Structure 1
Amino acid sequence: MQFSPYGGRMSEISESSTPFPYRAGILYSIHYGIRWTKEGISAWNMHMRGIRRSYSFMTPCVTKNPRSAYLNYRDLDLGVNNKGHISYEQASIWGLKYYGINFRRLVHVKTKVDPGNFF
């Protein structure tokens, strides 16, 4: 686990000033990572069980209602963007958890700038 501390000057910037909403009141971000060299499904299962145990252990110590995540530290348990057309309702499942109050504004900009969903 990697802990990235927040606070200081970051706390003085409004959460709606930039797409990054994690400002005042957020102490740090946790990046859970795991890697291994042994190939095969049994190795994958063993390591995934281990990282999920760590993740579950930390659950009482992290943001709640909703649980959220920094976009660069993808959290597949929060939801994923499936390929092809995705509705606002579907994207809201994970989008609100990554972007907080900025999600609606980002969807509005994306709709205007990239109506064909090229990016």
Structure 2
Amino acid sequence: MPEKVRVTAAVAKVLAAFLSDPTVDRYGLDLMGDTGLPSGTLYPILVRLQRAEWVTAEWEDIDPETAGRPARRYYRLTPDGLASARTELAALYQHLSKAEGAAGKPRTA
């Protein structure tokens, strides 16, 4: 059974990065650059998203010596992950916009 995802600010950044172009496979360093998250934060989030079946991961099929770099692990949203990410981020943005609106209202006594 997939794990439930708790959408924190860091998780929201990762989901937003995936949603910027859901058709593109992403790798860790690429996601770190887009989100500003360090590897110690990003990779545990990716593991949780995999356990929730929102993301799949595959190793790149290259010869590291020929490519001159290690193989990359590419991540992609699953169809369920895409729908869930859109739903969760929309709910988060709606919640934040309500909170922002409430913060600007004067208090009545």
TM-score (norm 1): 0.26
Bigger helix fraction: 2
Greater relative contact order (CA < 8 Å, ≥ 6 in sequence): 2
TM-score (norm 2): 0.28
